[in-house]
Amino acid sequence: MPPTHFDIGFLIFDGALATSISLPMELLNTVNHLSQRARRRSATSPKPIQFSVIGFDSGPVNMSTALSVLPSTLFDPDRSLDMLIIPSRWRHPHRGAPQQSVVQSWLRKLADEGCEICAVGNGSYFLAEAGLLNHRPATTHWHYFSDFSRRYPQVDLKRDYLITHSASLYCTGSVNAAADLLIHLIDRHWGPSFARHATQQFSPESRRPFATTAYSEERRNLHGDEAIALMQNWLNRHYADTVSVAEMATRCGISERSFQRRFKQAAGVSAQQYVQNLRLDAARELLQNSNLSIEEISQHCGYSDSSYFCRQFRRRLGNSPAAYRQAVRRKLFAVDQNPHQY
């Protein structure tokens, strides 16, 4: 029989950062509630998520703060999962569990089975100790760059990326980057409406698209087209210009039909959608960080029709530009201009 649940495990151990467990769990729990509602309306709705908090003994596990967590299940080296979240650890990330051969063997088994393993911050030490990151891209918390490079010289450490992806292995450099990764995985497994809802519930202004922030070995290997890469670089600088697909093809020196096919194959989206994504990302930044009007932002990002811009923005982010700006500005803090008066 096919599995009835999407099985997600959270590995816990003494000194783990609570937020590197709780934030991914809250995001995924939002998806679970949405899928439960969807199942009442349709028999073809996504499978429910089954959460497992996996500990190495049955007693409370002391997090990096005063918080203690009780495991819901004990570590089992024969256990299979669809997804595993490995949290970050406060200090000495290479000690203890990452060095246990039974844990390393289990991680290798999960990877062989196609389980998506997401290491938050220095949780990447678990994967490196198991040899899973050898000759693969990886990242970790910036504080551990030097130590990580020294211990694991065979790992391709990507210091300039907060997210890396290779096969079913994901590493993030921070808890916020882990949230960006989870939104990407929610979109992948449960669809854009679920991802959009989760984003709206958890700081919509801070989420950055996976495609623009992650180093993905999968995407790199698929993209060996130099002409398209050069066009992408050009579009990254000229996204606000009015340029047709035919003009893009001419710049590349290939036919329009061939250009469209090669661009979609290389970038994963059409050239038009690629430009649209660049424009909307730029608009999001301006809404957050400038006082330009909606119409001015629309024009600055290459939209001659502000109504069309607003429709595209809502379709992408689930909010109008004005509502998005209001949500962002609500989180900004004013600096006291006269700090000596109390």
Reference 46, options 82, 73, 86; nearest CA is 82
pLDDT at 202 > cutoff 70? yes
Whether the CB-CB separation of 88 and 143 falls below 8 Å is answered with no
Instruction: Classify residue 341: in a domain, yes or no.
Output: no
CATH code, 290:
1.10.10.60
pLDDT at residue 285, rounded to an integer: 81
State both tokens at 44.
């073809």
Q: What share of the chain is helix, strand, coil (3-state, %, to 5)?
A: 50, 15, 35
Whether the CB-CB separation of 245 and 260 falls below 8 Å is answered with yes
pLDDT at 341 > cutoff 50? no
CA distance 20 to 173: 11
pLDDT at 93 > cutoff 80? yes
* Strand pairing class (61-62; 68-69): antiparallel
**209 lies in the same domain as 240:** no
CA distance 105 to 101: 6
286: domain range?
Answer: 223-329
Identify the residue with better confidence: 120 or 5.
120
Identify the residue with better confidence: 337 or 239.
239
Tens of pLDDT, residues 157-184:
998 888 999 989 999 999 989 998 998 8
- Rounded average pLDDT over 125-140: 95
**191 lies in the same domain as 243:** no
Last residue of a domain, one of 202, 217, 232: 217
pLDDT at residue 23, rounded to an integer: 93
SS (H, E, C) 172-222: ECCHHHHHHHHHHHHHHHHCHHHHHHHHHHCCHHHCCCHHHHEEEHHHHHH
pLDDT at residue 335, rounded to an integer: 40
pLDDT at 307 > cutoff 90? yes
pLDDT at residue 281, rounded to an integer: 85
Instruction: Classify residue 338: in a domain, yes or no.
Output: no
Residue 50 — pLDDT band, cuts 50, 70, 90? Answer: very high
The total domain count for the chain is 2
pLDDT at residue 96, rounded to an integer: 77
